[in-house]
Amino acid sequence: MKLEAYQAMSDEELRHRIKKAKTDKNAIILAHNYQRLEVQKIADFLGDSLGLSRQAAKTEADVVVFCGVDFMAESAKILAPGKTILLPEIQATCPMAQMVTPEALAEAKAHNPGKTVVAYVNTTAGVKALTDICCTSANAVEIVKSLGDREILFVPDRNLGGYVKKETGANLTPWDGYCYVHNFLTVQDVERNRAAHPDAVFLIHPEAPADVIELADFVFSTSGMVNYVSSIAGEKDKQRGVIIGTEVGLVNQLQDRFPDIGIWPLSEFAVCGTMKLTTLAKVAWSIETGNYVVTLPEDVIENARQSLEKMLESGR
């Protein structure tokens, strides 16, 4: 059946088809916190890159439907090469991941032979294959600390790299990439929200610029933000409310889960366009028709797995 036919179905029918196809094909659905809320709600596992990587590595399902962007589905393939990994939307790419190519990284390594390459998981499989160890926004500080006084080349996010450098004092050179969603959060966004919600706790993602991070009460990955809001759900602190400095998909998730807590986006324009391309219709089409299958060359899988496994084995 063509995608158009699924797009004409009701959400209820799509959810029913997805549930049945999951059982028939022994499939699971992993969804990133930035997905549309209706997609988040049909996921077996919801989380950030690190949490989803761990689920992909340990699942006993034969098929993993990855609702996120391409580098995440590639990571699932690298960690579970024997499984069928499906990406429902082929155009779901990450502009930041594309800011460092394997060719450019190979050239940088040739010019910096002694440096250890630390790659944020938001990189292509080809870049991970040239990397010493991966990290996520949740564990980047700890991973870099574990490398002691080694000289580090950090790709691709200059904001996360700068934050890690400040927190660790490491001899770290950040690549000049950025996430357009977080990089355009501003001090003015913070001032506007602080004025509107003066008692609120302000949480920021480390992909934001340094001057915005500076003004935050806490710096968290998306899973850190979920944990923080969950932790105040039964506490007096919840009356203060929370300003969330990351992509609005996470804000939507938290507002849905905790309707009695004031939860406000730092900017309602913090929307990742490619994360929103995945719809219920595309998930139903993907799981029933087996599209799009993620494939990678074996040598890339082998080399990239080492950098991802080093991160997972570090337990951070």
Report the residue count for the chain: 316
CB of 305 to ligand SF4, least distance (A): 22
The answer to whether 160 contacts ligand SF4 (rule: CB under 6 A) is: no
Residues 6+ apart with CB under 8 A from 180: 95, 96
Tokens of 232: 């105040």
Closer to ligand SF4 by Cβ: residue 6 or 71: 71
The answer to whether 281 contacts ligand SF4 (rule: CB under 6 A) is: no
Binder of ligand SF4 out of 181, 200, 204, 301 (CB under 6 A): 181
| Distance of alpha carbon 157 from alpha carbon 64, whole angstroms | 28
Helix (H, G, I), strand (E, B) or coil at 133: strand
The answer to whether 179 contacts ligand SF4 (rule: CB under 6 A) is: yes
Closer to ligand SF4 by Cβ: residue 9 or 277: 277
Interface mask (CB under 6 A) for ligand SF4, residues 119-138, using x and -?
---x----------------
Contact 132, 151 (CB under 8 A): no
Tokens of 14: 């799509």
The answer to whether 200 contacts ligand SF4 (rule: CB under 6 A) is: no
| Distance of alpha carbon 311 from alpha carbon 303, whole angstroms | 14
Closer to ligand SF4 by Cβ: residue 94 or 308: 94
The residue range among 93-101, 136-144, 147-155, 229-237 that interacts with ligand SF4, by the rule CB under 6 A, is 93-101
Closer to ligand SF4 by Cβ: residue 122 or 252: 122
Distance of CA 282 to the CA centre of its chain: 20
Buried b (16+ CB within 10 A) or exposed e, 23-56: eebebbbbbbbbbbeebbebbeebbbbbbbbebb
CA count, 13 A, side-chain hemisphere, 30: 30
Closer to ligand SF4 by Cβ: residue 117 or 185: 185
Helix (H, G, I), strand (E, B) or coil at 221: coil
CB of 249 to ligand SF4, least distance (A): 9
The answer to whether 275 contacts ligand SF4 (rule: CB under 6 A) is: yes
| Distance of alpha carbon 10 from alpha carbon 86, whole angstroms | 23
Binder of ligand SF4 out of 50, 67, 69, 127 (CB under 6 A): 69
The residue range among 99-107, 134-142, 175-183, 303-311 that interacts with ligand SF4, by the rule CB under 6 A, is 175-183
The answer to whether 39 contacts ligand SF4 (rule: CB under 6 A) is: no
For the chain, the first-to-last Cα distance in angstroms comes to 43
The answer to whether 61 contacts ligand SF4 (rule: CB under 6 A) is: no
Closer to ligand SF4 by Cβ: residue 115 or 122: 122
Helix (H, G, I), strand (E, B) or coil at 173: strand
Binder of ligand SF4 out of 52, 94, 117, 294 (CB under 6 A): 94
| Distance of alpha carbon 107 from alpha carbon 216, whole angstroms | 37
Q: Which residues bind ligand SF4 (CB under 6 A)?
A: 34, 69, 94-96, 122, 179-181, 247, 272, 275
